[in-house]
Each structure stands twice: as C-alpha cells, then as structure tokens.
Amino acid sequence: MELSPPPRIKFLEALGSVADGRVQVISDKEAVVRASEGERFYRVYVDLDAGLADSDDNGTTYRNYIGYPILAFLMVKEALPYEARLGDALKGVKWHSLNERYKSYRVVEAHIKRMLAGKGVDSREVDDFIDRAYARLAEFRLKKR
C-alpha cells in the first residue's frame, strides 16, 4: 500500500523534532523518534532503495500517510530538505498539546505561523520550505512495509 502525503503541518513537526535532537538513528534504515512531550517513542523504518517506510505513529499506522517521524528521519538522512533556521524557531513546540487543543491541522499551522512571525520568520519562507519538502518526498513514492 502506497503511503499518502502527510498534512502540511507534519513537515514543521518533523523540523522541530530534528532541531530538538529527538531523532535517534539506530541504523541506515531504522530510527527512534521521541515525541515532543517525551512520553512516547516511535520506531521508524525507511528503505529508500526498496521504496518502503513504516512507523508506529498514528498517522502512518491508522491513516496511512507518511507521519512526521518518517519525515524527521528522512531529514536526518539528508533525503529531505532541512532548514536549520526554521528548525531552531520550532524548538520546544509541544505538538501533541496543540493538536489536541485545536483539533485541526490548518488551525495549528496558522498558530505556528503566527508564532514564527514573532520570531522573524515570514510565512512565505515556511510555505516555500513545505513546498520543496513535498516535491522531494513525492519522488520517493513510499509504500508501507
């Protein structure tokens, strides 16, 4: 089964997890990603040569889209773009709490963009990053392992 593209906000969540140092590489194909509030750990598998990916996060497991732990691992592997300036601005964001509070990825994205604007990051810069990351991700056509 081919995994669907993730919601836009998941690229920002992945940036934050990389900037926070929450991605532990186990091997070339495996990693463990700690959730933003520290209580969960997600196992990630990616084999770009075989076009396979999997993670035990909710998005990948239940909704069949490429979850943020996979995106974060791909950023660490330099297979997806990573913007240190954006990542640094996203350090410490409590993603689970935001998602639970607003119950809408679009609303969370708007909230994050306002927060980033307060740190001097223009929303066009955010959108450009997400567009570039989506385009690169589409090249992989990842299937669930």
Q: What is the 3-state composition of the chain as percent helix, strand, coil, each rounded to the nearest 5?
A: 50, 15, 35
Q: How confident is the model at residue 26 (pLDDT cuts 50, 70, 90)?
A: very high
pLDDT at 48: 97
For residues 67-77, average pLDDT: 98
For the cut 90, the answer to whether the pLDDT of residue 39 exceeds it is no
Q: What is the pLDDT of residues 45-63, one digit of tens each?
A: 999 999 999 999 999 999 9
Residues in the chain: 145
For the cut 80, the answer to whether the pLDDT of residue 38 exceeds it is no
Nearest 5°: phi and psi at 19? -60, -35
For residues 7-33, average pLDDT: 98
Q: What is the pLDDT of residues 3-14, one digit of tens each?
A: 999 999 999 999
- Among 68, 90, 99, 86, residue whose Cα is nearest residue 129: 86
**Tokens at residue 51, please?**
């076009």
For residues 65-90, average pLDDT: 98
pLDDT at 121: 96
- Among 63, 83, 80, residue whose Cα is nearest residue 139: 80
